[in-house]
Chains A and B, each alone.
Chain A
Amino acid sequence: MEAAAALPQVRINRFLPYVAVFQSDLKQTLRSWIYRLWVLLTMSATVGYLLYRFGAKQVGGFVQPAPEMVSDLMTWVVWGSITLIIVITSGAICGERGTMADSVLCRGISRTQYFLGKLHSRLVIVLGTFLLMSTVALAGSMFLLHSERLSLTGSLLAVATVAAILTMIVSIGVSVSAIANTTVVSITVVWMTLYGLGFLMSFLPADYPSPDRALQNLPNVLKGIYDLHHLTRLLAGTMAISLFMSVLGMVCFSRKDV
């Protein structure tokens, strides 16, 4: 009894396993070629387009309004690099089948912590890269094109709108990755889900918010012309889908053999 009392108690940090997975995944993804390719393409397109417009304005006097230009760039991130975002997120869990069980899940970590660590790491990477790109685009438009038509509140709302859509894509990607057995299957399912959802939502009445309509309406939002109620419904809708998919992925992953 005395001997047991004398034993030093090891302090266990319950959040450390989650933080370990989060940090490790963040480092690995940042080092991956697919992420570097995405950043290279996105930043090249952003800076290149900005300089092109700046040159056109300086040399030829052709002025494209900043809201349209920033809207174009943000829309490109969603549509143009959607494949790369899907690949980055859809292999998050099923892509590590070999090491996952042998090195990670057999230790003192729960499936929930592992799933959340992966989800949050991919969200930080995708949203962080998007925010960086949109900051460059907005700052570039402000300083290079001297646009007075760009509204600050509208810009923040536009960034929030695209970020919400990206959050939904990442959540679906990571959740499907937790359920699927291989990365190829995961990517295929995410592709089909996103395009299927987009196709079905195009049949909804015009007053229903959909990602496609929200992206089309971005130039107006950037100018400060927006319906706050409509935008709030869109944000709430995408957050609800993200939450639902995350919970579904987490529950399925907690019941899966690895």
Chain B
Amino acid sequence: MAENASDLVVESFKLTKIYQNRQIALNDVTLRLEPGCVLGLLGHNGAGKTTLLRLILGLHRPTAGWVRVFGGIMTPNAAALRSRIGFIPTNPQFPRGMTPITYLDYIARLFGLPADIRKPRLASLIRAVDLLNVSGDIIDGFSNGMTARLAVAASLINEPDLLIWDEPTHGLDPEGRRSMLNLIKTLAREKTLIVSSHNLSDIDEVCNHAAVLSRGHLIYFGSLQDLKGRMRKNMYELDLDADQKAITKAFNVIKSMQEFRTVNLRQRRLEIRLTEEAATAPTLANVMMALTDNKVNLISIRNSGQVTEQAFLDLVEKEESRGFARAYNPEAA
């Protein structure tokens, strides 16, 4: 835990962004990001993810509230703070007529890096992202994968302490996506990352913290494990193999047990949810016993509460269902 505010990488307080008094893009977002944290930013389209990232970068000015990065207030003129950040936008755009070498040299100069530092660094980054054979070609004709790799190199040229990557796997083929996720895992050992993505399995794989935005409001901020654990906790899915009659018989036995909050059968898939008090191991043992007694084979069993996507959807659904109750938040008050 960071003991004081200056130890935090990112800290926002009541951060609000209203565009031209017409659109509320971000509403009262307060969060604290500690060093080493890999934060997955989740939310539907228009939830305010990119707005939050742009406020952290100082590309937008908050309508109310503030955001601190490395202990300093982020403003459009806070170049020193931005020089410790590496950013990848969703669809990176590049100045026309530049090659990977001239582009990375330009970006390095924007960070104030002198030639003896930037030249070797850009050369090794071009090699690292596998653009060596096209390093003298004009970027305009590059594929999505190539531009994504170039954007990664640009975001690392200043050796940043904080990386902000807005949908880094967007438009990548499976191989490119895998490379990107592996890179994030490697970087996460030394740096703080904020990764925004629609692909929840990506977030699940690389992040240890999550922030969920819904219509500009931060509805969850904490560890990813907590997010997954608190939603649909103790929920299991069992895929069964037997004739339907035997499965139904086993289902009726399981349904009669007291340890379950809900028991549903959909064709050959059994969904069970344990009560809060039920001990997992003995209860599941009883289920196995019921299946064995009725000659039902178990093909697979999984804890559906551990799926980030489901947890995210549940969280958003829960927030929506609160209706006007959202107007009063005792914790904030």
Could you say which residues of chain B place their CB within 8 Å of the CB of A96?
A: 95
Main secondary structure of the interface of B (DSSP, over half): loop
Please report the number of residue pairs spanning A and B whose Cβ atoms sit closer than 8 angstroms. Answer: 102
CB within 8 Å of A: which of B57-72?
Answer: 57, 59-61
| Cα–Cα, bound, A96→B76 (Å) | 17
Q: Are B77 and A111 in contact (CB under 8 A)?
A: yes
Given contacts A12-B83, A102-B89, A109-B79, contact A17 B109 (CB under 8 A): yes
Whole-angstrom distance from the CB of A19 to the nearest CB of chain B? Answer: 7
* B78 CB within 8 Å of chain A: yes
Per-position binary interface string of chain A over residues 95-110, scored 1 when its CB falls under 8 Å from any chain B CB and 0 otherwise: 0101101111111111
Q: Taking A16-B109, A20-B110 as contacts, is the C-beta distance between A257 and B59 under 8 angstroms?
A: yes
| A11 x B110 contact (CB < 8 A) | no
Interface size class of B (residues with CB under 8 A): 35 or more
CB distance from B15 to the nearest CB of A (A): 14
Contact of B87 with A17 in the complex, beta carbons under 8 Å: no
**C-alpha spacing A98/B54, complex, angstroms:** 14
Beyond A10-B113, A16-B113, A255-B61, whether A106 also contacts B97 by CB under 8 A is no
Bound CA–CA A65/B228 (angstroms): 88
A residues 1-43 in Cβ contact with B at 8 Å: 10-17, 19-21, 24, 28, 31
Is there an interface contact between B117 and A106, defined as CB atoms closer than 8 Å?
Answer: no
Contact: A19 with B77, CB < 8 Å? no
Q: State which size class the interface on A falls in.
A: 35 or more
Asked whether B1 is an interface residue with its Cβ less than 8 Å from the other chain, the reply is: no
Contacts of B60 in A (CB 8 A): 257-258
B201 CB to nearest chain A CB (Å): 26
Determine the main DSSP class of A at the interface with B: helix
Q: In the bound complex, do residue B77 and residue A17 qualify as a contact, i.e. CB atoms below 8 Å apart?
A: no
Question: What's the Cα separation between A111 and B82 when bound, in Å?
Answer: 12
Known contacts A101-B59, A103-B93, A110-B79: does B112 contact A17 (CB below 8 Å)?
yes
B89, closest chain A residue (CB): A102
**In the complex, B158 has a CB within 8 A of chain A:** yes
A98 to B89, CA, bound (A): 11
A196 to B123, alpha carbons, bound, how many Å? 53
A240-258 interface with B by 8 A CB criterion: 254-258
Contact A109 B110 (CB under 8 A): yes
Contact call A105/B111, Cβ cutoff below 8 A: no
Q: How far, in Å, is B157 (CB) from chain A's closest CB? A: 9
**A12 CB contacts on chain B under 8 angstroms:** 83, 111-113
The residues in B between 99 and 158 inclusive whose CB is less than 8 angstroms from any CB of A are 103, 106-107, 109-114, 117, 154, 158
Compute how far the CA of A255 lies from the CA of B59 in the bound complex, rounded to whole angstroms.
Answer: 10
- Within 8 Å of chain A (Cβ to Cβ): is B13? no
List of A residues within 8 angstroms of B95 by Cβ:
24, 28, 96, 99, 103
Which 10 interchain pairs have the tightest Cβ spacing?
A108-B83, A20-B109, A107-B110, A12-B112, A108-B111, A110-B79, A110-B77, A257-B60, A106-B87, A102-B89
Beyond A99-B93, A103-B92, list 4 extra A-B contacts (CB 8 Å). A12-B112, A99-B94, A108-B110, A110-B78
Interface residues in chain A, defined as those with a beta carbon under 8 Å from any beta carbon in chain B? 10-17, 19-21, 24, 28, 31, 96, 98-99, 101-113, 254-258
